[in-house]
Amino acid sequence: MATHHGPPTVVVVGSTNIDLVAYLSRVPRSGETLVGRRFQMGFGGKGANQAVMARLLGAEVVMVNCLGDDTYGDMTLDNFAGFGIDTANVYRVPGASGVAPIWVEPDGSNRIIIIPGANHELTGDQAARSVRRTPDAGAVVGQFEIPQEVTAAAFAAAREQGATTVLNPAPAAALSSGLLELTDWLIPNEVEFETLSGGSPDSDRALVAFAEETATRLVVTLGEDGAAVVSAGFDRVERLPSPGVDPVDTTGAGDAFVGAFVFGLASGLGERAAVRLGNACAADSVTRPGTQSSFPRSERIEQLLAEIRGSSV
Ligand code: RIB
């Protein structure tokens, strides 16, 4: 991708959810009722989270998504508007918007259930049309919370206009070959990598083999250990560590990584710096509760960007 002057434009084709987060001392056993410590309702969905992270860093962001005609849909639109995210390609259908009940334990680890609702109503035609309406898009990003064929239609349109395609295969599911052929960068987390490849992300050989098999640029996020990147020639793995932090809530950290990585890539930072920016934003986000509410803001964003831009990469 060429060096970009001015803010890059990123199109996110993906999900929005309302996150219903319960903070607990431990998760309940079957048949057990527990008293939780705290509850937080917030804005989530992997697509929306990645859009918000890229926007917070300064990208022009176009969200492509489908919402229900409920209050959650209205709230989600207001949330996007508050961030200055373009919602001209957010569609609405009768019924419920996506929701995600989430349990978070004291070590920051989470368990998430998604109920897709309207997220599954976005069509391939809508997705492709929305991408075509954004001819200056530097990158088009997708996840697995909307049907794969819809993401494939968006990626096909992205390819036609020379945009880089980035797929975060989350939550893990078998990859359709049609979508894979249209994917430039594949970014699973460690669990998703194991599910998709059958190998361990601890093994450089497994990472290289999977990158070669999928013919994609592969970045695997490794939680507190940062991320591993397979080189373009499929001959080298670089492991870039994450800044050490005390986690409070890891929900959305992977999305902070993807949103920041895509921003970095689309703004011409270079892939190594883009991964480091992803690591920095993800680590920062786990120090605060919630999903989008945990992402770094204004001054912290400036600080993180200055650190990445200032160090030799
Ligand atoms: O990655 C975290 C996200 O997963 C949450 O916001 C939740 O909505 C689910 O999509």
pLDDT digits (tens, 9 = 90+) for 137-186: 999 999 999 999 999 999 999 999 999 999 999 999 999 999 999 999 99
The one-character DSSP state at 52 is: H
Tokens at 81, concatenated: 């508007």
**Minimal-distance CA residue to ligand 1 atom 2:** 252
Q: Where are the alpha helices (DSSP H) in the chain?
A: 46-56, 71-83, 124-132, 148-160, 177-180, 190-197, 204-214, 253-266, 271-285, 298-310
pLDDT at residue 1, as a whole number: 52
For ligand 1, the distance from its centroid to the CA atom of residue 11, given in whole angstroms, is 18
Is the predicted pLDDT of residue 4 greater than 80, yes or no?
Answer: no
Split at pLDDT 50, 70, 90, the class of 312 is very low
Mutate to test the pocket of ligand 1, among 251, 293, 295 (most ligand atoms within 8 A of CB): 251
**C-alpha–C-alpha distance, residues 84 and 57, integer Å:** 12
Mean pLDDT computed over 21-47:
96
CB of 104 sitting under 6 A from ligand 1: no
CB of 252 sitting under 6 A from ligand 1: yes
* Residue in this structure with the two tokens 């609702």, named with its chain if needed: 117
CB of 79 sitting under 6 A from ligand 1: no
Provide the CB-side half-sphere exposure for 183 (13 A, CA): 29
CB of 98 sitting under 6 A from ligand 1: no
Question: Each residue of 77-115: pLDDT tens digit?
Answer: 999 999 999 999 999 999 999 999 999 999 999 999 999
**C-alpha–C-alpha distance, residues 299 and 306, integer Å:** 10
Q: Which atom of ligand 1 is nearest to the CA of 145?
A: 10
CB of 255 sitting under 6 A from ligand 1: yes
Q: Over the range 108-130, which residues count as b (16 or more CB within 10 Å of their CB) and which as e? A: bebebebebbbbebbebebbbeb
**Minimal-distance CA residue to ligand 1 atom 6:** 44
Sign of CA dihedral 297, 300, 302, 305: negative
pLDDT at residue 265, as a whole number: 97
pLDDT at residue 65, as a whole number: 98
Tokens at 306, concatenated: 């200055």
Question: Each residue of 121-149: pLDDT tens digit?
Answer: 999 999 999 999 999 999 999 999 999 99
Please identify every residue annotated as catalytic: 255
CB of 251 sitting under 6 A from ligand 1: yes
Question: Each residue of 198-217: pLDDT tens digit?
Answer: 999 999 999 999 999 999 99
pLDDT at residue 313, as a whole number: 47
Q: Are 154 and 133 in contact (CB under 8 A)?
A: no
For ligand 1, the distance from its centroid to the CA atom of residue 212, given in whole angstroms, is 29
Phi-psi region at 108: left, alpha or beta (left = phi > 0; alpha = psi -120 to 50): left
For ligand 1, the distance from its centroid to the CA atom of residue 3, given in whole angstroms, is 31
Question: Each residue of 261-308: pLDDT tens digit?
Answer: 999 999 999 999 999 999 999 999 999 999 999 999 999 999 999 999
Give percent above pLDDT 90 in the chain.
96
**Minimal-distance CA residue to ligand 1 atom 10:** 45
pLDDT at residue 2, as a whole number: 47
For ligand 1, the distance from its centroid to the CA atom of residue 311, given in whole angstroms, is 32
